[in-house]
Amino acid sequence: MSTNGTNIAQPQNFISKRYLVLSISLSLLTMAGVIWYTYTPGVLTHLVPKRMPGLVIALVVSFLRVWFTAAKFRVLSEGVISWMGCFRIVLTWDFTSAVTPSTIGGAPMATYAMSKEGLNLGESTAIILYSVLLDQIWFAIAIPILLVTGLFYEVVPPEVGLIGEASMILLYIILLSYASILAYGVLVNPAAIKKVVKAVFKLPILRRYSEKINAEAENLESYAHQLRKKPFSFLLKAFFFSTMTWLARIALPTIVILSLLPAPEILSTLRSLAMNLAFLVVPTPGGSGGVEGLFVLFQGPLISRESFIGLALFLWRIISYYITIAIGMAATTWYINRQVVEISNKD
């Protein structure tokens, strides 16, 4: 693999202070509203101390999610990126995803981060695409599971009504279609991805980058062909880590709820899977506001004490979101400071 990094943007360009403030504000306002409507005085006296260690388990699972994702990037880069570099990339991706609209996500910043960890832009883009493909393959397996189990469990809460159920089915169709298209581009016809990339950078707003991108598009196609030639064990190993990442993400809400009071474990886990898929289309930065609402909608009816809904939501978001922002901001700052040092050295 090449060790030459090619950049078309500064890391600061991927982060918006306005989106950061908006993301945190929406999250806090939504949680405050839920707590206001569900809280009753004396609710904390109903906490069962022997269940509280479950919150420690939730923190461990949250760390394992990061580790599994880092391991996936370590595999996909064939060891070129160090373990510390992989952790920085994951935390940076998480942070950027938390403060940008879900339709943008943290992939652009992750691509930049990989280019600073020893890969060229084409290789970085190919790894991101391959990583996204592994996620889509997992979705393609998870969706039939939800459809089959939906015959026996109320995976989609009846509160969403007919429109909500139709929306979930539409989401499933979109995810499966996207997975098919991406699999074709990455595994069957990498040249198609190169053509799409070149076409996108012919747009007036991006045209000034087209010369650099054309060269990197060739690298992208070349590395995509290399990935295609990898043995099945390579794909299987990377897919294993991708699957474990998602299982940790899905288990987290259920573990938090069970740390407070009993709940139907299987149904809670299935609903966590369904709502995690729904998170993908929430348009706000980091999904804030929307993900809290979906948690209440999917998990709220399973919490026997209504006054615990706000507490469960608060604890889940602290572990899954606010800790991510804090640690991810440090990792992102590392890349920004490194860029400043490189510019200073050139001067």
C-alpha dihedral, 228 to 232 to 235 to 236, nearest 10°: 170
Decide if 3 is inside a domain.
no
Q: Which domain holds residue 307?
A: 11-346
- Helix, coil or strand: residue 285: strand
Q: Could you give the residue ranges of the DSSP H alpha helices within 100-160?
A: 107-116, 121-149
Domain count, the chain: 1
Decide if 2 is inside a domain.
no
Angle between helices 265-279 and 161-183 (to 10 degrees): 70
Decide if 6 is inside a domain.
no
Per-residue model confidence as pLDDT tens for the chain (347 residues): 444 444 445 555 556 678 788 888 999 999 999 999 888 877 777 777 888 889 999 999 999 999 999 999 999 988 899 999 999 999 998 888 887 765 556 777 888 888 888 888 778 877 888 888 888 888 888 888 888 898 888 888 887 767 767 777 887 888 788 777 777 777 777 777 667 766 766 666 556 656 655 665 666 666 667 777 778 888 899 999 999 999 999 999 999 999 998 899 999 999 999 999 888 878 787 788 889 999 999 999 999 888 899 999 999 999 998 998 889 888 888 887 766 455 455 55
Decide if 306 is inside a domain.
yes
- Helix, coil or strand: residue 80: coil
Backbone angles phi, psi at 101, to 5 degrees: -55, 145
Decide if 5 is inside a domain.
no
Cα separation, 258 vs 35, in Å, equals 18
Decide if 330 is inside a domain.
yes
